[in-house]
Chains A and B, each alone.
Chain A
Amino acid sequence: MNFLYYIRIFLIAAKSLLDDFGRTLLSLLGIIVSVLAIMIVITLGDNVDLYIQNQLSAFGTDSIQIETKVPSEDLSINIGDASSRAQITTLTADDARALEKLPNVSVSTVGVIGQARMVSDGESKQAILLGSDANAPRVDGGLEIDRGRFFTESESIGKSHVLVIGSNLSRDLFGALNPVGKRVRVKGVTYRIIGTIKERGSLFGFNYDDLAYIPYTALTSEILGTDHVQYITIKATDDDTVDAAVGDATSLLRIRHNSNGPGQDDFMVTSTEQAQNILGNIVGVVSLLLTALASVSIIVGGVGIMNMMLMSVEERRSEIGLRKAVGSREEDILSQFLIESIVIALFAAIIGIALAAVLLWVAGTYSVNEGYVDSFRIPLKAVLLSAGFSCAAGILFGVYPAKIAAKTNPVEAMR
């Protein structure tokens, strides 16, 4: 024969194969999309959780945060109404010093947050001021000095006009020059820059490189006009004493603040682990809900499989009849078609997982490169769960067609 003839025949064959493949793929589209959705939801949930855990771990697992709260309000950290919390003026630096004397507590530091415009020679910048004390570098493991030094205890309690600034702020105000020793004006008062902080990045969207550390006494009395602090961070003596330290701190503050119990507390003591649990639970619930929603969509996909299997049973009636004639029992036919529908469902799952992996990998790599997150992973449970769900759909929606196949009357089927 001639070459052209075989090419033509090949094209006809390839076309009919692809036609069939297209039909198969269409029937599987539902499962593929559902698997895609499950993969994405679980992976995103997992990565958000991972992100939160990592961010909180930066504070150190032995650190404990004490914040103000409105009595009887039991909302957790960072979620309560900030404006009503701001009215609580009872937390003081004296509290911090008292806490530091507790046996399970190694060190404490205070925190007050304010904002002010900073003016250098020719440059001006709105900056976040973080009022703190000399203990801050000991409490906050992520706080490292790049140039110069942090302020001393006498500076922190003595309203000294000194600043330790973040790398972005340094660049904005002084360009490439060494800022140590330079002066800036804050609310008309001259401050001396005594140090810079190593580049640190963001924590929960709060960029440490944009802020300036200032002795809390200077911030409260001269800029904000108050005499209380917004939070105290303490460190337990080690990881094992965290719970004890939380208890001790709570008891001590209740005495100092005349509180008889949780309903009267105007403060809230939260360890890093507790915060991780609370936020982890929130993320877990949200991601569970979304996963459940995505899983419901697999039912739609299952109907696609059922449709396809019913067509297959109809097309292969004569084959089924023959198999029964030569001795296959109902259960043999049933298992054969059930296995086929499971294999098809798993095939769809593999396509869905592969698509999701590509999409997530692109998105994850982009997010890591852009610095939105430190790391990105596709959890195994996403793969297992979506494969498991489609397998279940294959069984659930394969049973009916398989039963029809099994019940086929061989005489009628072979007619």
Chain B
Amino acid sequence: MTEKPDNTSTKPLIVCKDLGKTFYTGDIETHALRSASCTIDRGEFVSIMGPSGSGKSTFMHLLSFLEEPTKGSYHFDGRDISTFDGSTLAKLRNQEIGFIFQAFNLLSRLSVWDNVELPLLYDFYTKGLNRSKEHKQRIKDALESVGLSHRADYKAQYLSGGEKQRVAIARALVNNPKIIFADEPTGNLDSKAGLGVMQILQELSEKGHTIIMVTHEHSTAMHATRIIGLKDGILETDEPVENRLFAKDEQELK
């Protein structure tokens, strides 16, 4: 199995204050995210909820270094990321976070193994003689943790939707990230496959992984430990989940 995350540090993983993002298209300003402040600790499983246009995706893109904020401050693991350039942010994405997307975003021509390996191809930071051996072991472990070791040589395009998303989870785990971002991970799946994905996410959470999941469905959000609610670009609610749902006890994802 994959390594357990190092949660020994007590300082929060994410601290953002009045974070905002405005897009400029010609003369038109779009305030995708007006203001969001929150602190997220290690080991938390947070759902970001909101209707479409609420700014939840933009919020996640800012938190995951895919886009840079136009206002506010963001400290990740104690570092102020506003001082980082593009290459350093790329390094952060490569070394410290994992992604799961709604549309899976696998390279369909490649095998399952090669898809999972992808982040490691851009690992220019791990040195040492055992690098490739270690990488191989990590791919094996990641595939095992999502139960797809037997599909390693399959081409990604021949997998079912649920299997594809499990490959994507393995890809997100392969670099042993500090945090996993999941953007509507069950959005393209039927309820049974969706439930399978939620079960894996909850297992990872139990092992100590920090997970931030964007969803617009309340029932999916209820699998997390905390729900942050956005509306019209403003972080409005931030509450722990009462009556949390556990995927392993359910028949289907409602």
Interface residues, chain A, CB within 8 Å of chain B? 318-319, 321-332, 409-411, 414
Contacts and interface: CB of A to CB of B under 8 A. Distances in A.
27 contacts: A321-B105, A322-B105, A322-B107, A322-B118, A324-B90, A324-B93, A325-B66, A325-B99, A326-B99, A326-B118, A326-B122, A327-B95, A327-B119, A327-B122, A327-B123, A328-B94, A328-B122, A329-B86, A329-B87, A329-B91, A330-B86, A330-B90, A331-B87, A332-B122, A411-B66, A411-B67, A414-B105
A411 B66 CA distance: 7
Contacts, number: 52
B101 A414 contact: yes
Bin chain B's interface residue count.
20 to 34
Contacts of A326: 93-94, 99, 118-119, 122, 171
Contact of A325 (B93, B107, B123): B93
B70 to A, nearest CB: 14
B216 interface: no
Interface string B108-144: 0000000000110111000000000000000000000
B94 A327 contact: yes
Given A414-B101, A414-B105, A323 B118 contact: yes
B61 interface: yes
A330 B122 CA distance: 11
Contact of B90 (A322, A329, A409): A329
B107 A319 contact: yes
Contacts of A410: 66
B103 interface: yes
A147 B175 CA distance: 91
Nearest to B60: A411
A410 B66 CA distance: 7
Interface in B59-91: 61, 66-67, 86-87, 90-91
A323 B66 CA distance: 12
Contacts of A327: 90-91, 93-95, 119, 122-123, 175
Interface string B192-233: 000000000000000000000000000000000000000000
Nearest to A324: B90
A331 to B, nearest CB: 8
A318 B105 contact: yes
Contacts of B123: 327
Nearest to A330: B86
Contacts of A318: 105
Nearest to B93: A327
B89 to A, nearest CB: 9
A318 B109 CA distance: 13
A414 B107 CA distance: 12
Contacts of A414: 101, 103, 105
Contacts of B107: 319, 322
A13 to B, nearest CB: 14
Contacts of A322: 105, 107, 118
Nearest to A332: B122
A324 B123 CA distance: 12
Nearest to B98: A326
Contacts of A409: 67
A318 B93 CA distance: 17
Contacts of B101: 414
A327 B95 CA distance: 8
Contacts of A411: 61, 66-67
B88 to A, nearest CB: 9
CB-CB nearest 3 A-B residue pairs: A327-B94, A326-B119, A327-B122
A415 to B, nearest CB: 9
Given A319-B107, A321-B105, A329-B122, 6 more contacts: A323-B122, A325-B99, A326-B94, A327-B119, A329-B91, A409-B67
A318 B108 CA distance: 11
Contacts of A328: 90, 94, 121-122
Contacts of B121: 328
Nearest to A331: B87
Nearest to B102: A414
Nearest to A325: B99
A330 B89 CA distance: 11
Contacts of B105: 318, 321-322, 325, 414
B91 to A, nearest CB: 7
